[in-house]
Structure 1
């Protein structure tokens, strides 16, 4: 694997790491250093990757930043009972232009994902999620994205890309590889009614902050179907982060965002995870520690993955058939984990995006609703999207 664009973890961080307990994460993971170079990644399952690019932030005023405090915080944590090998492969620096950074990131991510290594990306502005999506162009025909964010980030896609418009670019730029876009924790007053209506017309999946806070388990089936999970730190409530990071008095709290990160890790399908909009400040300890704990919980989730979505063997699942609003709905329940799926039928007479029967993650409540003649909303949206 050839990673030409990576720079090593700074020596100041490595010097701090030498003082830590031999049982800490910093002493247990492989680290890209100036002295020893890039570590061997043959047996590595998860890598930490910094991207020091923020020039397409709408509020960019020329400031640079680094991820030193996040690394210091992360290295001080202790690993769980994990079998996956982890590496910190350093940073992608700002290129001469933003497009240079995009190119370097896309090339790096494509290599990692192709080799079944899960990148945990720490940024920079969230427009980097567009590059993350483009890294899948040659890898998979249809991509599902989950964005944990207060805003949809649809923006004006006719203008150059910004961190507030990257989703619009994902939807409208060729090649069209996006199948589903879900947003977790959006706050209505940060989004225009036109954008909310557009999300509905496109049969995407918006989940309001209140909805998620009332029942965090709603996140699990959405994450189970995602390839890319991207987190905007602006989704956090102001009391959870340092002064410069504060965006809104309302948002997810530390416990909720760590649960969301763990759900992302548990998903067998998630192959890249990004945390963006980091803005370091002098009182930064709390933000860097929260980001570190989010990464910890994501890694914990990856180590708890269970392969329970092989439905070729009838012993692996139970099958349930019910009728709701004249539709025959077929549900499957894993005998290993108790997780549920619902079948989206193949429509032979339309331009079917999936070309086959496909199984959509759902909840036990969706099955109970179907038994009471109510079609699950996730099924309806996927069915409609598949029919377009």
Structure 2
């Protein structure tokens, strides 16, 4: 079953220049990778919201990656000439087979990492995380520890007793870690009391999850937050960061699967992302839950694109 399609250059449109002033003029659309020593970022789309559907959420995130790319394409290019930006295609869900989509995603992530290419995965539901993590796991040396940093309103630690969905990925990862006798290293930024029931907080405590709750996740607490993030990063060998757009206030991100006005703001997220980048341990990044169906004037897509823009120009 083919659940991968080559990149669509038609999505990359914007103002024209003769000097590659815009990212649509910088990007290279290719699904063929060559191992090299240049700094290379690869955008890989995960067009799947089957997990959101199974989790009784608002569907529509399947078109999220395309919406983000359309906004990113128009943004200015300040990358060095030798830095490469690739669009390597889209993993999608066929016949509701989310697990196959996750496996394909994992394989693609592994290939990117093995070719010295930094993966930036655009989703899609937060079930993106399970496939993404397994791709990293297959690529890094077996003795290395992986730390997960999740910007999110939700733990996504629901038990998968009745099947996998967008609310179960980190529980699945924790179960795999236990089965493999490895440590589950998980830091959550922006967790809200009104978005997680008591059983999820209990699970998080039992699993040793590090939590910075939303009421503390702001610029006023910046120094304390940076210390906690640095402490977590220092305890692991490599870092995987996942940004769930529903963690942001709906004032900034209405176009998500589970919107709320009570979320955090972009300024603290950018500051924390900078700290993670400067650690030198970040090896992969994704953005989840972009849902164009509920977006307003493409503001959520622009937020997601701006996060990617900030990342590639800071890393």
TM-score (norm 1): 0.68
Q: CA deviation at 1:72?
A: 2.0
Structure 1 distance, partners of 2:197, 2:59, is: 29
Deviation at 1:80, TM superposition (A): 3.2
Q: Aligned partners of 2:79, 2:39: CA distance in 1, in Å?
A: 16
Tell me how far 1:44 sits from its aligned partner.
Answer: 4.8
Q: Tell me if structure 2 keeps the 8 A contact 1:6–1:89.
A: no
Deviations 1:199-240 (A, max 9, x none): 334332101112221323424514565521111111010111
Picking from 181, 195, 210, the partner of 2:215 is: 210
Structure 2: 5+ residue stretches without partners: none
Find the partner of 2:72 among 68, 71, 74. 74
- Per the alignment, residue 56 of structure 2 pairs with 59
Task: Give the CA deviation at 1:273.
Answer: 0.4
3-state SS of 1:297 partner: helix
Bigger RCO (CA 8 Å, 6+ sep): 2
Q: Distance in 1 between matches of 2:98 and 2:67?
A: 24
State the aligned residue count.
293
Q: Which residue of the partner structure matches residue 197 of structure 2?
A: 192
From the CA coordinates, give the structure whose radius of gyration is larger: 1
After superposition, the Cα gap between the structure-2 partners of 1:245 and 1:99, relative to the gap in structure 1 and judged at 3 Å, is closer
Aligned-partner Cα distance in 1 for 2:255–2:108: 33
TM-score normalised according to structure 2 size: 0.82
SS of the residue 2:184 aligns to = strand
Give the Cα separation in 2 of the matches to 1:195 and 1:69.
32
Match of 1:156 in 2: 159
Q: Match of 1:128?
A: 128
Structure 1: distance between partners of 2:59 and 2:153:
25
What are the Cα deviations for residues 226-266 of structure 1, in whole angstroms up to 9, with x where unaligned?
52111111101011124566611111112233333333333
CA contact (8 A) 1:263 1:301 kept: no
Query: Hey, what does 1:95 align to over in structure 2?
Result: 94
The SS at the match of 1:156 is coil
Number of the residue aligned with 1:20:
16
What corresponds to 1:295 in structure 2? 308
SS of 1:230's equivalent? Answer: strand
Distance in 1 separating the partners of 2:206 and 2:25: 50
Q: Distance in 1 between matches of 2:278 and 2:94?
A: 34
The residue aligned with 2:242 is 230
Mark the runs of 5 or more structure 1 residues left unpaired by the alignment: 303-388
Q: Distance in 2 between matches of 1:113 and 1:90?
A: 16
Deviation at 1:114, TM superposition (A): 2.2
Are the equivalent residues in 2 in contact too, given 1:223–1:263 (CA < 8 A)? no
